[in-house]
Amino acid sequence: MSEPFEDVSRWPVSRYFREVVAAQPDGRVLLFFGRSNIPVGVLILLSLLFAPLSENLAVIHAVLFLGMPLLGFVWFLKDMPSPTLTAFESVIREPWQRMVSVALQLFVGLLPWVVLVDAFVR
C-alpha cells in the first residue's frame, strides 16, 4: 500500500519556509535577502515618514526593499514543482535550472542595494 501523501499546499507558511524553501539553494538566497532587505525597507520607510535622514533616499528605495523579496518569492514558487511533486524536486529540476534560479534570486536580492548605492554615488 502506498504511503499517505501530505499536501504541502496546506502547510502553514512557517513550515513551508523551513522545510521546502530553506532546503533549496535558491530558497536559501531568497531567505537571506528577505531577512536583510525587508528590515532595511522598513527602516527607510520609517526614516522617510518621521525624520528624513538623507535627500538621496526616496520612496522608490523603500518599495524596492519591500517588494523585491515578494517578487523573489513569487519567482521561487513559479520555479518549484507542484506541491504533489515537491519531494521529487531534485529529480525534476536539472542543476542548470537551479543555478539559473539562484542567479535570478541574487539579481532580485541585490537590485535594491545597487539602486541605493547608485542614488548615493550620484
Q: For each of the chain's 122 residues, which pLDDT tens digit applies?
A: 455 666 667 778 888 888 888 888 888 999 999 999 999 999 999 988 888 777 888 889 999 999 999 999 999 888 877 766 666 677 777 888 889 999 999 999 999 999 999 988 87
Reading the block at residue 116, the C-alpha cell is: 541605493
Q: How far apart are CA 101 and CA 96, in angstroms?
A: 9
Q: How far is CA 3 from CA 6, 19, 88, 92, in A?
A: 9, 19, 15, 20
Q: How many CB atoms lie within 10 A of CB 48?
A: 16
Query: Is residue 41 exposed (0-12), middle (13-18) or buried (19+ Cβ within 10 Å)?
Result: buried
pTM of the model: 0.80
